[in-house]
Amino acid sequence: MIKEIVTYPNKILRTKSKDVEKFDSELHTLLDDMYDTMIAKDGVGLAAIQISVPLNVLLICIPDENNIQTPDNLLEAINPKITHKDDALIVYTEGCLSVPEFHEDIKRAQNVTVEYFDRNGQKHNMEAQDFLAVVWQHEMDHLEGHLFIEKLSLLKRKKFEKEWKKKLKEEKNKR
């Protein structure tokens, strides 16, 4: 089922999510709803808090070489942790379903090692590079209650806040 995505500046997005304790049908429904929502909104990643569920659950689905997202490329991560980040950095133009239509360059680690559980409670480790590493770090930030716009320089952040307020006002007037 497609759920409503919480958008900035809703305070829900600042919640620190908690670990999942039961790998049960309720978790599976959450994962399925998150997938439907992410695909419907054309996202490559989604954290549970973005649909108002404060649990350490995230999805990543990088499009294939034909730019198509399939369940084959879906990564479901429960109680994930970044266990290693190396010093190499990469700049990538990021966006977020909770900050629609805004994109900006963000610097992050180029290589990360992560640990997570799948929907059946099986533990996995993986190394991620480049775009996948960026998405991992972006989604992990959501679980800590952080958004990528917090990484902007002061000047860029001010410009963003001004434009965002204007956009919200315009949307309100349209209704």
Supply the residues annotated as catalytic: 139
Q: Does 106 bind Co ion (CB under 5 A)?
A: no
Q: What is the DSSP letter of 151?
A: G
Q: Does 133 bind Co ion (CB under 5 A)?
A: no
Residue 56, SS3 per DSSP: coil
The angle subtended at Cα 48 by Cα 21 and Cα 172, nearest 5°, is 150
CB of 50 to Co ion, least distance (A): 7
Q: Does 143 bind Co ion (CB under 5 A)?
A: no
Judged by CB under 5 A, which stretch of 57-65, 77-85, 90-98, 163-171 contacts Co ion? 90-98
Among residues 12 and 23, whose Cβ is nearest to Co ion?
12
Binding map of Co ion across residues 45-84, x = CB under 5 A, - = no contact: ----------------------------------------
| Strand order from edge to edge, sheet including 45-47 | 45-47, 57-61, 74-85, 111-117, 123-129
CB of 24 to Co ion, least distance (A): 26
Whether residue 45 contacts residue 139, with contact meaning beta carbons closer than 8 Å, is answered with yes
Q: Does 96 bind Co ion (CB under 5 A)?
A: yes
Among residues 26 and 131, whose Cβ is nearest to Co ion?
131
C-alpha 126/C-alpha 131 separation (Å) is: 14
54 prior amide bond cis, ω within 30:
no
Site residues for Co ion per CB under 5 A: 96
